[in-house]
């Protein structure tokens, strides 16, 4: 991603604009900015931009939102749950166009997840760019669907956990659980506290997902992976998600986790609820090609992370690659693919209108692309955070 001449511009010119509100690209738009927020979006010309020395981009969209990212830039959140590490992960994610991340802390022993919550609180207090909140993927999962998670640390949520999770101040909180294993009343209590609960690494039936949705379940984590599948008389988690009118779903569009035909089916059935996620590990925008996780050796080869048995261990893909894949392999238009990287994840977090859309009063957080859908720049709150290494 090239450096931008001005770190704090007062406007950005978009030759094409996806604002996250309409269903079409708008041509030749000037985004006026003051104090980190958008004051006005108006028609303009390239000459207007040149006259004011305003930087123009071929395509401007709301800043991409990755609600599931474990690491980047040789940094894994579970290995280094602190504010400095989060800054590195966020910067690595920006190389792929991501403005906001939900750093994801996977299953660990006991209440070790509280270290992740504290790290996010500290990072947000320090003003680390792009940290929207925290995603806790476990440890309240199913032993039947552990994936690469440490099955020894998977356990049932208890009252101490509920007290910890419902009293945090870490921004948005997304919690992935196996809903069939939650104690009675836990889901409703989490929902009342504003925790966004997703089902993942779950052996739930379709009926159990329907019941959980009625009590506050809002989505599923990495659709198709580590969950029950749709069969002729049992919809499972996948079928219940398709049948729902409200459940969101993250999906890993890397060609390894989910067959492209299944990705395309999900995109057709739930275009307003499907969220692109990277599930990226420390290899993204990094130099490492192997690392240890729960005593297992994980290797990167041909864009895929696997353990010695060939089991997938997270992903090695950026958000912009995911967007391009949805267009190339899932039949999505540019607008549809961008929606899955912006509007949909914002709504999944209960933040629709606050992030993921561009309008007067919204944060000036943009992902700027070239004609080949390569990342030209990422702006967060009116600032290009990577200029001069900031």
Query: What's the rounded mean pLDDT across residues 130-156?
Result: 97
Query: What's the rounded mean pLDDT across residues 176-187?
Result: 98
Residue 159 annotated among the catalytic residues of the structure: no
Tokens describing residue 76: 């894994």
Mean pLDDT of the residues in the chain = 96
Query: What's the rounded mean pLDDT across residues 120-129?
Result: 97
pLDDT at 386: 85
In this predicted structure, the answer to whether residue 388 has a pLDDT above a threshold of 90 is no
Q: What is the pLDDT of residues 305-316, one digit of tens each?
A: 999 999 999 999
Tokens describing residue 23: 């269903």
How far, in Å, are 176, 190, 252 from residue 271 at the CA level? 22, 27, 15
Query: What's the rounded mean pLDDT across residues 171-194?
Result: 97
Q: What is the pLDDT of residues 211-261, one digit of tens each?
A: 999 999 999 999 999 999 999 999 999 999 999 999 999 999 999 999 999
Query: Around 234, how many Cα atoms within 13 Å sit in the side-chain half-sphere?
Result: 9
pLDDT at 369: 98
Q: What is the pLDDT of residues 319-352, one digit of tens each?
A: 999 999 999 999 999 999 999 999 999 999 999 9
Instruction: Determine what percent of the chain is predicted with pLDDT higher than 70.
Output: 97
pLDDT at 389: 37
- Same fold for the domain at 11-61+357-389 and the one at 64-348? no
Rounded CA gap, 168 and 272, in Å?
29
Instruction: Determine what percent of the chain is predicted with pLDDT higher than 90.
Output: 96
pLDDT at 387: 57
Determine if the peptide bond prior to 93 is cis (ω within 30°).
no
Determine if the peptide bond prior to 139 is cis (ω within 30°).
yes
The topology (CATH level 3) of 64-348 is TIM Barrel (3.20.20)
Domains in the chain: boundaries: 11-61+357-389, 64-348
In this predicted structure, the answer to whether residue 277 has a pLDDT above a threshold of 60 is yes
How far, in Å, are 3, 37, 228 from residue 310 at the CA level? 39, 46, 21
In this predicted structure, the answer to whether residue 2 has a pLDDT above a threshold of 90 is no
Range scoring the smallest mean pLDDT among 222-231, 276-285, 380-389: 380-389
Q: The domain 11-61+357-389: what is its CATH number?
A: 2.30.40.10
Overall pTM surpassing 0.85 (yes/no): yes
Catalytic residue among 66, 150, 279, 386: 279
In this predicted structure, the answer to whether residue 301 has a pLDDT above a threshold of 70 is yes
Q: What is the pLDDT of residues 5-51, one digit of tens each?
A: 456 689 999 999 999 999 999 999 999 999 999 999 999 999 999 99
3-state class of 105 per DSSP? Answer: strand
In this predicted structure, the answer to whether residue 119 has a pLDDT above a threshold of 50 is yes
């Amino acid at each position: 991603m090239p450096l931008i001449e001005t770190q704090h511009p007062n406007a950005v010119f978009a030759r094409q604009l996806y604002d996250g509100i309409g269903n079409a690209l708008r041509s030749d738009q000037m985004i006026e900015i003051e104090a980190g927020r958008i004051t006005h979006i108006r028609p303009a010309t390239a000459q207007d931009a040149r006259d004011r020395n305003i930087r123009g981009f071929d395509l401007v969209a709301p800043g991409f939102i990755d609600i599931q990212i474990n690491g980047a830039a040789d940094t894994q959140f579970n290995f280094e749950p602190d504010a400095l590490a989060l800054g590195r992960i966020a910067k690595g994610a920006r190389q792929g166009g991501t403005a906001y991340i939900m750093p994801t802390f996977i299953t660990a022993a006991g209440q070790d997840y509280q270290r992740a919550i504290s790290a996010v609180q500290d990072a947000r207090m320090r003003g680390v760019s792009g940290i929207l909140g925290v995603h806790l993927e476990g440890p309240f999962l199913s032993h039947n669907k552990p994936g690469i998670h440490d099955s020894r640390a998977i356990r049932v949520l208890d009252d101490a956990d509920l007290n910890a999770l419902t009293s945090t101040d870490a921004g948005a909180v997304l919690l992935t659980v196996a809903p069939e294993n939650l104690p009675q009343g836990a889901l409703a209590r989490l929902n009342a506290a504003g925790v966004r609960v997703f089902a993942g690494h779950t052996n739930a039936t379709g009926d159990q997902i329907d019941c959980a949705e009625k009590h506050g379940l809002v989505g599923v984590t990495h659709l198709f992976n580590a969950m029950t599948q749709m069969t002729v008389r049992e919809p499972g988690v996948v079928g219940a998600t398709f049948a729902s009118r409200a459940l969101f779903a993250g999906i890993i569009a890397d060609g390894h986790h989910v067959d492209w035909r299944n990705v395309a089916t999900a995109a057709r059935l739930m275009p307003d609820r499907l969220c692109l996620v990277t599930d990226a590990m420390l290899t993204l925008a990094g130099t490492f090609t192997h690392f240890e996780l729960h005593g297992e050796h994980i290797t990167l080869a041909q864009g895929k992370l696997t353990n010695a048995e060939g089991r997938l261990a997270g992903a090695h893909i950026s958000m912009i690659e995911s967007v391009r894949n949805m267009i190339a392999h899932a039949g999505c238009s540019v607008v549809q693919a961008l929606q899955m990287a912006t509007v949909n994840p914002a709504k999944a977090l209960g933040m629709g209108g606050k992030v993921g859309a561009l309008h007067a009063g919204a944060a000036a957080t943009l992902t700027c692309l070239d004609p080949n859908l390569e990342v030209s720049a990422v702006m967060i709150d009116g600032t290009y955070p990577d200029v001069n290494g900031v």
